[in-house]
C-alpha cells in the first residue's frame, strides 16, 4: 500500500482534483502535507499545485482552509505558493491567489525576493502586470522592494533581457537609477547590448512623458480661464449696461 501522503502528491501532479478531494476526506491531516523528502524543501500541497499551474486543485485546497491561519504557507526557503506560480508564469493561478490574499504579493523569501521579482526574472509580463495591479501598496511602492543584494525587479528583468517586462516596470514607476549594494543599476546588468539600448530608450521615453505631463499640468494652472472670464475679470459685451 502506497503511503497516503505520496498518493496525494501524485494526484496533485496528475491534476486530479476529485482524487485529491477523496484522499483529503479520508486523511484530513494531510491538508498541508509538506514534502520532507531528501530532495524536498517542505513544499505544501498548495505550493506543489501552484508551481504546476493546477488552478482547480488550488481552489479546492483554499476551500478546505489550507491557508486559514491568516498567513501564507511557507517552504524551507520562505517561499509562498504565489512566488512559485509567478516564477513559472501560471497566470490563472497567480490571478486567483492575488485576489484571495493580496498582501502575499509583497512577502519576501530568505533571499529577499518577492513574487514580482520572480516573475520579472523569468520574463512573465502578464504575471507582472497582475501582481502590480493587485499590490496593496500600489505598483510604484511595490517596485521599491529589493533583495538582500539590493536588486529590484528591474535589475532582474534587465539581467535576463526581458524587454516586455522592462517596459511594464518602467511604466509602473520603477526607478531606473536605483543601485544595488554593489552600486550597479539595472542598465549595468543588461543581458545583451539590445537590452541595454532598449532600456536606455525606455528611460528617455518615460522621462519625456513625465516632463510633458508636468508641463501640461503647469499650463492648466497658469492659463487664463475662458467662458466669460479672462485673467479673473468678467468680460462685458458692448451695449450691455453702462
Per-residue pLDDT tens over the stretch 28-74: 999 999 999 888 899 999 999 999 999 999 999 999 999 988 889 99
Residue 62 belongs to domain spanning:
1-71
Give the single-character DSSP code of 229: E
Please give the Cα distance from 92 to 107 (Å, whole number): 20
| The predicted structure's pLDDT at residue 192 | 84
Residue range 100-125: mean pLDDT, rounded: 98
- Asked if pLDDT for residue 13 goes beyond 50, the answer is yes
Mean pLDDT (the chain) is 89
61: in domain: yes
pLDDT of residue 170: 94
Task: State residue 208's pLDDT score.
Answer: 85
Pairwise pLDDT comparison (87 vs 211), residue with the higher score: 87
pLDDT band at 231 (very low <50, low <70, confident <90, very high): very low
Report the percent of the chain where pLDDT is more than 70.
88
Does 94 fall in a domain?
A: no
pLDDT score at 223: 55
Copy the grid coordinates of residue 166.
Answer: 522592462
- Rounded to 10°, the helix 55-63/45-52 angle is 150
| DSSP bridge partners of 230 | 233
**Measured torsion, CA atoms of residues 46, 47, 49, 55, in degrees rounded to the nearest 10:** 70
Quick one: what percent of the chain has pLDDT higher than 90? Answer: 74
* Distance between CA atoms of residues 28 and 31, nearest Å: 6
**Nearest-5° Cα angle at 15, 117 to 31:** 80
Residue 37 lies in a domain: yes
Local confidence band at 7 (pLDDT 50, 70, 90 cut-offs): very high
Q: Report d(CA 2, CA 118) in Å as an integer.
A: 35
Q: Taking residues 127-142, what's their average pLDDT?
A: 97
One DSSP character per residue, 47-87 reads HHHHHHT-HHHHHHHHHTTTTTTSS----TT---HHHHHHH
pLDDT for position 217: 62
- Write down the pLDDT at residue 138: 97
Position 12 scores a pLDDT of 98
* Residue 21, in any domain of the structure: yes
Q: How many domains does the chain have?
A: 1
Query: What pLDDT does residue 240 have?
Result: 41
Residue 186 maps to a domain:
no
**Rounded to whole angstroms, how far apart are CA atoms 134 and 103?**
9
Separation of alpha carbons 98 and 96, rounded Å: 5
pLDDT for residue 36:
92
Answer whether residue 17 is part of any domain. yes
**179-216, pLDDT tens digit by residue?**
999 999 999 989 888 888 988 998 888 888 877 766 56
pTM for the whole structure: 0.86
Amino acid at each position: 500500500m502506497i503511503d497516503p501522503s505520496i498518493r496525494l502528491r501524485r494526484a496533485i501532479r496528475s491534476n486530479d482534483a476529485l482524487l485529491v478531494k477523496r484522499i483529503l476526506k479520508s486523511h484530513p491531516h494531510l491538508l498541508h502535507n509538506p514534502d520532507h523528502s531528501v530532495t524536498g524543501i517542505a513544499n505544501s500541497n498548495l505550493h506543489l499545485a501552484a508551481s504546476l499551474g493546477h488552478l482547480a486543485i488550488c481552489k479546492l485546497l483554499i476551500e478546505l482552509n489550507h491557508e486559514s491561519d491568516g498567513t501564507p504557507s511557507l517552504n524551507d526557503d520562505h517561499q509562498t505558493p504565489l512566488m512559485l506560480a509567478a516564477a513559472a508564469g501560471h497566470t490563472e493561478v497567480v490571478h486567483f491567489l492575488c485576489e484571495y490574499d493580496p498582501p502575499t504579493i509583497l512577502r519576501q523569501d530568505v533571499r529577499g525576493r518577492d513574487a514580482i521579482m520572480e516573475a520579472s526574472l523569468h520574463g512573465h509580463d502578464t504575471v507582472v502586470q497582475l501582481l502590480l495591479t493587485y499590490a496593496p501598496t500600489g505598483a510604484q511602492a511595490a517596485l521599491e522592494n529589493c533583495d538582500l543584494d539590493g536588486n529590484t525587479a528591474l535589475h532582474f528583468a534587465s539581467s535576463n533581457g526581458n524587454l516586455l517586462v522592462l517596459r511594464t516596470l518602467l511604466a509602473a514607476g520603477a526607478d531606473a537609477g536605483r543601485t544595488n549594494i554593489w552600486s550597479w543599476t539595472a542598465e549595468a546588468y543588461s543581458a545583451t547590448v539590445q537590452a541595454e539600448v532598449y532600456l536606455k530608450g525606455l528611460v528617455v521615453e518615460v522621462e519625456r512623458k513625465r516632463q510633458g505631463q508636468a508641463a501640461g499640468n503647469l499650463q492648466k494652472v497658469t492659463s487664463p480661464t475662458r467662458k466669460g472670464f479672462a485673467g479673473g475679470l468678467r468680460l462685458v459685451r458692448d451695449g450691455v449696461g453702462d
